[in-house]
């Protein structure tokens, strides 16, 4: 097995996906979960969680789409690598995991300065599964570039991601760079990123990759190295404990976006998603601590059906 499952190995992928509380089969594109409506976000009956510094955040019941609480859910902000969730929802179903790609110089052309990489090299041969583990565990922009090249190119992939976002009702998102690299005009929102996570978790492969703790990269290669998921709530690293029931989904950071995180966890029959964008506290591990607080609050309130309102009006762009 190429990953450290969250369940005993004999239980296999099916038990992992069941434990994640997601479907065992990919959902058709037109049946994937859509972004929450303004009406879902607007009804207010309780006090929302306090003490959070993020510019925008949202906690949602992944199974029903009910927004339990939100602040600035439609504020358009730089998403950093959380946008890779939309990339995966768009491209992941297209190529079999065992397909091999010999990487060319063109595949890696345009890789942004300072990009996070997993170590894809020109002339190397990688399976599609290797590349997706590079995307999900190490947030490798090099792996994204190779997969986008397989998908018809960088610009074509960005256009297709935009179409996927539109189909999901994610109207706050503008895609310019499929890997989430800071690019003028590229924005998303807590509401949209949550929708991408819900759509992704409905896919068996996405759920498996985003919950993988460690893997060999490339798998089976003589020069392979162990890579570890950079989601500190999933792994329990860098001063953060493993969050009970954590599934994934994706973290990110750029100088423009700050720290960003989509975190999903399952407890007592409920799967919740907390999306946190750009905490302002300056605290070490702030994005993880705020996501954990939102999940704790959400699990305390998920059995009460009335959602909590956000405190914003229409969508706005980041300054």
Calpha distance 303→153 (Å, rounded)? 45
Calpha distance 260→287 (Å, rounded)? 7
Contact between 174 and 162 (Cβ < 8 Å): yes
Is 9 among the catalytic positions?
no
Calpha distance 154→232 (Å, rounded)? 30
Q: How many CA atoms lie within 13 A of 172 on its CB side?
A: 30
Contact between 17 and 25 (Cβ < 8 Å): no
Straight-line distance from the first to the last Cα atom of the chain, in angstroms, rounded to the nearest whole number: 46
Is 139 among the catalytic positions?
yes
Per annotation, catalytic residue among 9, 53, 71, 84: 84
What are phi and psi for residue 129, nearest 5 degrees?
-60, -40
Peptide bond between residue 218 and the one before it cis (omega within 30 degrees of 0): yes
Per annotation, catalytic residue among 71, 116, 139, 188: 139
Nearest to 315 by CA among 187, 221, 168: 187
Is 84 among the catalytic positions?
yes
Per annotation, catalytic residue among 71, 81, 116, 250: 81
Contact between 262 and 271 (Cβ < 8 Å): no
Contact between 151 and 92 (Cβ < 8 Å): no
Three-class SS of residue 65? Answer: coil
Catalytic amino acids?
81, 84, 139
């Amino acid at each position: 097995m190429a990953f450290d499952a969250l369940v005993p190995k004999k239980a296999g992928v099916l038990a992992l996906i069941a434990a994640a509380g997601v479907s065992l089969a990919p959902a058709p594109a037109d049946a994937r979960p859509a972004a929450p409506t303004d009406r879902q976000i607007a009804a207010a009956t309780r006090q929302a969680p306090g003490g959070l510094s993020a510019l925008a955040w949202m906690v949602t019941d992944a199974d029903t789409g009910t927004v339990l609480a939100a602040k600035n859910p439609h504020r358009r902000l730089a998403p950093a690598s959380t946008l890779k969730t939309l990339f995966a929802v768009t491209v992941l179903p297209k190529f079999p995991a065992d397909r091999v790609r010999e990487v060319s110089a063109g595949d890696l052309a345009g890789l942004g300065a300072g990009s996070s990489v997993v170590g894809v090299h020109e002339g190397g041969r990688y399976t599609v599964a290797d590349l997706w583990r590079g995307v999900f565990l190490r947030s490798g922009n090099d792996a994204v570039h190779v997969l986008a090249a397989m998908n018809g190119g960088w610009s074509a992939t960005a256009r297709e991601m935009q179409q996927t976002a539109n189909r999901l009702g994610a109207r706050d998102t503008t895609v310019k760079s499929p890997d989430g690299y800071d690019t003028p005009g590229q924005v998303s929102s807590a509401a949209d990123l949550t929708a991408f996570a819900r759509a992704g978790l409905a896919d068996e492969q996405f759920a498996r990759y985003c919950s993988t703790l460690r893997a060999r990269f490339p798998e089976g290669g003589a020069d392979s190295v162990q890579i570890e998921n950079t989601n500190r709530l999933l792994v329990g690293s860098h001063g953060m404990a493993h969050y009970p029931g954590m599934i994934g989904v994706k973290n990110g950071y750029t100088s423009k976006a700050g720290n960003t995180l989509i975190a999903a966890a399952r407890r007592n029959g409920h799967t919740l998603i907390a999306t946190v964008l750009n905490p302002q506290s300056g605290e070490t591990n702030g994005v993880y601590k705020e996501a954990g607080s939102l999940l704790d609050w959400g699990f305390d309130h998920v059995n009460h059906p009335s959602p909590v309102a956000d405190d914003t009006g229409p969508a706005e762009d980041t300054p």
